[in-house]
Chain A
């Protein structure tokens, strides 16, 4: 399916504008919405997010979107906190999440040179081939900024080394996620967003 109708789920994330501009740079005009029928009808659904898991899930509950998001069948992309919300549970505020991908979100343990938040450009390591990763070279760096993370697991397509391997790109069925900010990851980010829109 082509990206003819992309929606950004407006759940209060402050990066929603940046994601929208990144899509515009790819020639796609995305609508911001929290309307359930609008989201169900879209070709592609993006769940951006910056902030904490508890308030993030609370906003989805308030908007009546939890069940809607769980039952989507078109390509869905969670960005940063949006990716974390796709998993079962977050240690941040002991928050039950959407649970469409198996796994849990944990706090990154600080130690030595591992500072928290994990902030900056880190190299993506491909763990599993997937159309979402097409065209990614060996030296693909993405911009991360997060204090919680999902350890590399069955859903991990690409990981990042931060003392331990953390999930950077994940997929389970139609649900995909990027822990870093593709909208702020230069040409690498644009490529990955483009791959998602082509899915």
Chain B
């Protein structure tokens, strides 16, 4: 049986892992390789590195740290942020990333997803979607969420975009539910369920994890394949080995 995955997400800036209190005040949390190894040793199933400044600034990912991580890490990892064409994606993959994740650039030019899938296969192509519930009750996509001053609300409905990105060649979807992001009150189960109903590729829940029960709910009630979290892992509030034990005790299949 395929197990459910736990994925710590690390924000990277200038080759170091940072934590944003608010967008501007980034504190260096540690060296990227040290933290990657720590999570690997704790039993993380996969890692996501998100270059937080790449997309809003129009910069692309610095490949040097990708290679440093690839040399030491023996679990899969995905690189997100600033990948806007096939050539940059190729460099990131050749540097050793297993997957690349696109978000804002795919909204600028949806054909990017088709190009990436054709060049590398759908298994490499992750599409990240930032989604917020509007006042009319509809979930819609947000762009450039890395910088609040540049974030744009789009007319595009989240569920329509989920269907479209799969048709174009997304091999996995990370749904970041902005209503619950950063508040640690639990994943947005209603939205994840709605997306799950139209998502045939692996689906990763993001935004809202605060305690182990939230992970159980995402897996059991929304049937997601993986759960991503940042602050609860970085702060040590939830230790991955404890979380895995709890998930297993609740009947969720995880890698021991």
Contact = CB atoms under 8 A, between A and B. Distances in A.
Interface of A: 14-18, 21-22, 24-25, 50-52, 110, 113, 115-123, 139, 141, 143-147, 161-162, 181, 183-187, 189-190
A120 B256 contact: no
25 contacts: A14-B93, A14-B94, A16-B94, A17-B94, A21-B70, A24-B71, A25-B72, A50-B121, A50-B123, A50-B124, A110-B200, A116-B201, A117-B201, A118-B2, A119-B202, A120-B2, A121-B255, A122-B1, A143-B76, A145-B98, A147-B123, A181-B76, A184-B76, A189-B74, A190-B74
Nearest to A119: B202
Interface of B: 1-5, 40, 45, 67, 70-72, 74-76, 90, 93-96, 98, 119-124, 171-172, 200-202, 223, 225-226, 255-256
B98 A15 contact: yes
Contacts of B76: 143, 145, 181, 184
A144 B202 CA distance: 12
Nearest to B172: A119
A162 B98 contact: no
A162 B253 CA distance: 14
Given A141-B255, A145-B76, A147-B122, A120 B3 contact: yes
A117 B202 contact: yes
A146 B200 contact: no
A51 B121 contact: yes
A121 B202 contact: no
> Of B4, B71, B123, B223, which is in contact with the most chain A CB atoms at under 10 Å from its CB?
B123
Contacts of A122: 1-3
Nearest to A162: B2
Nearest to A185: B74
A31 B121 CA distance: 25
A161 B1 contact: yes
A178 to B, nearest CB: 14
Contacts of A116: 200-201
B182 to A, nearest CB: 26
> Of B2, B96, B223, B256, which is in contact with the most chain A CB atoms at under 10 Å from its CB?
B2
A139 B202 CA distance: 23
A144 B45 CA distance: 12
Contacts of A115: 200-202, 225
Given A145-B76, A162-B2, A187-B74, 4 more contacts: A115-B200, A122-B1, A145-B123, A181-B98
Contacts of B120: 14, 50-51
A115 B173 CA distance: 12
A144 B3 CA distance: 11
A190 B73 CA distance: 11
Q: Which 9 A-B pairs have the closest CB atoms?
A: A14-B93, A121-B255, A184-B76, A145-B123, A51-B121, A17-B96, A141-B255, A21-B71, A119-B202
Contacts of B226: 120
A50 B70 CA distance: 16
B43 to A, nearest CB: 9
A121 B45 CA distance: 8
Nearest to B171: A117
A123 B225 contact: no
